[in-house]
Chain A
């Protein structure tokens, strides 16, 4: 009876191939392809070919891509130049630091707020008082509080990410079904057992949803901060190239930003999927 379960579970690759084959039989991927192509064509026609007002002021896809793959770019930046990668690296590094601090502070805070009414009574009001203030309103204060360029920028991204993470974590703990707490209790758990075996795993799905939102928010704040007061970074690159009318570089920076943002989001999501194996398998059974 026990050897059956091992051999009948499909391997990751088999599963992937099966799903891909199945997907190709539906109209979805073809429509997606068509949709993206249509959009690209419209973009090209409006900006480069027909040159209607005001679209002609914006560089079209062909212009941008040509510049991007150009070994000796007209405007100075392409995938072959060093500064392109420096900017990407600087922004990514800031995001990693901000996200790490925000998560490291936000998750424990959220867990305790959800877990202990007393703690929440003291901590939550302060949080709710500071949260409505938009992150960018902190810019002047951040510049005054912290020396240099780097710290205020990271501070802003951290702040934004922190609020989202803490709140979602707290809500996650509060959403855990009471039965699990009771079950753990009647099995003889002490408080720290309940924290480690019920609170943390129970809140994990909500924590990761929060983390996906929070990394998006971190990027949002980072870009804004870089645009206002930066040196290096993708936000700065956008602003700087705009200032000197290097519009093609500007669009390149925007698209790179979108791409990098998407990758970091996917990284968070897949980290979550790995940590929550039990969900993946259950969903696999139930299907949607």
Chain B
């Protein structure tokens, strides 16, 4: 594990400006995001928290190119991803997503899953890609299960493999949509350490959606609290704790203070969402 890595991150700066998203499930106009603006620096770990169904995933989907935006603009490293004239971003391996319920292809082994990106982009031959996949999986401690199918390994291993699958493409941004939501606390803490280790090594920009406050503060450089639907930035909490971080941080004073600060903002929104009682957008 490399400590005190001096790579200066130079790519992956996201600029979200006045983005609004309205969509129409069954005739009722729903505003998922309302005039939301956010600047994310290159190499930053940006955590997005908010009550369930508030529209945080909509932002991620817009960046990834899964959904269009109605108004506003999103740039990546100065170039427009989507905006006026092009409401839907093109999907690409510079912004890879790790999904909530895991989206490793069940019909491919872990190694083949990881090798998939470079092969379809035409960057490497199958053999080379497989070799690189095995190396990267070994780095993540997964070489023993590299030739198994996702259905045969634990969810923790599968999720880690999914992150490797994303990283082999050397993306500018890693988009994570509540990836550890369905895991127990013990597995989660291992996932956290694994992600931190990966980040320290690669300094990739991370856009991470979660509803777990402690996870947000433990992992992030900044925590952005969103309001209930329609989503707007409510509060931004800077987490000025040095890296590398480890689990001992969780019981420190400064950590507790940060959690308290964020919690007040989130709680307010959570109560509003609860009272509104609407079905989650998911």
Q: Which residues of A contact B (CB under 8 A)?
A: 1-2, 4-5, 177, 179-180, 182-190, 193, 197-198, 201-202, 204, 276-279, 281-286
Inter-subunit contact B117/A187 (CB<8 Å): yes
Q: Which residues of B contact A (CB under 8 A)?
A: 64-66, 91-93, 95-97, 99, 101, 103-108, 116-117, 120-121, 143-145, 147-152, 165-166, 169, 175
Q: How far is the CB of A36 from chain B (nearest CB, A)?
A: 36
Taking CB atoms, residues of chain B closer than 8 Å to A186 are 64-65, 91-93, 95-97, 175
Complex alpha-carbon distance, A154 and B101, angstroms: 46
Complex alpha-carbon distance, A14 and B101, angstroms: 35
Inter-subunit contact A182/B103 (CB<8 Å): yes
| Cross-chain pairs A/B with CB under 8 angstroms, 6 sampled | A2-B144, A5-B148, A184-B116, A188-B91, A198-B105, A276-B107
Q: How far is the CB of A78 from chain B (nearest CB, A)?
A: 47
Inter-subunit contact B149/A187 (CB<8 Å): no
Inter-subunit contact A190/B91 (CB<8 Å): no
Contact of A201 among B92, B107, B117, B120 (CB under 8 A): B107
A180, A188, A190, A285: residue with the most chain B Cβ atoms closer than 10 Å: A188
Taking CB atoms, residues of chain A closer than 8 Å to B117 are 187-188
Contact of B105 among A4, A183, A283 (CB under 8 A): A183
Taking CB atoms, residues of chain B closer than 8 Å to A5 are 144-145, 147-148
Taking CB atoms, residues of chain B closer than 8 Å to A281 are 148-149, 151-152
Given that A2-B144, A4-B144, A183-B97 are contacting pairs, would A278 and B165 also be in contact in the complex, using a CB cutoff of 8 Å?
Answer: no
Taking CB atoms, residues of chain B closer than 8 Å to A182 are 64, 66, 91, 97, 99, 103
Taking CB atoms, residues of chain A closer than 8 Å to B169 are 187-188
Complex alpha-carbon distance, A281 and B149, angstroms: 8
Inter-subunit contact B99/A179 (CB<8 Å): yes
Complex alpha-carbon distance, A204 and B104, angstroms: 17
Given that A179-B103, A282-B149 are contacting pairs, would A1 and B91 also be in contact in the complex, using a CB cutoff of 8 Å?
Answer: no
Contact of B149 among A180, A190, A278 (CB under 8 A): A278
A186, A202, A279: residue with the most chain B Cβ atoms closer than 10 Å: A186
Taking CB atoms, residues of chain B closer than 8 Å to A193 are 120
Complex alpha-carbon distance, A2 and B108, angstroms: 19
Taking CB atoms, residues of chain B closer than 8 Å to A286 are 151
Q: Which 5 A-B pairs have the closest CB atoms?
A: A282-B151, A188-B93, A183-B103, A185-B91, A201-B107
Contact of B107 among A2, A185, A188, A204 (CB under 8 A): A204
Inter-subunit contact A190/B120 (CB<8 Å): yes
Complex alpha-carbon distance, A276 and B107, angstroms: 8
Taking CB atoms, residues of chain B closer than 8 Å to A184 are 105, 116, 120
Complex alpha-carbon distance, A281 and B107, angstroms: 11
Complex alpha-carbon distance, A253 and B151, angstroms: 44
Given that A1-B143, A186-B65 are contacting pairs, would A278 and B99 also be in contact in the complex, using a CB cutoff of 8 Å?
Answer: no
Inter-subunit contact B105/A179 (CB<8 Å): no
Q: How far is the CB of A184 from chain B (nearest CB, A)?
A: 8
Complex alpha-carbon distance, A231 and B236, angstroms: 82
Complex alpha-carbon distance, A277 and B116, angstroms: 19
Nearest residue, chain B, Cβ from A1 = B144
Inter-subunit contact B101/A179 (CB<8 Å): yes
Q: How far is the CB of B62 from chain A (nearest CB, A)?
A: 13
Taking CB atoms, residues of chain B closer than 8 Å to A198 are 105
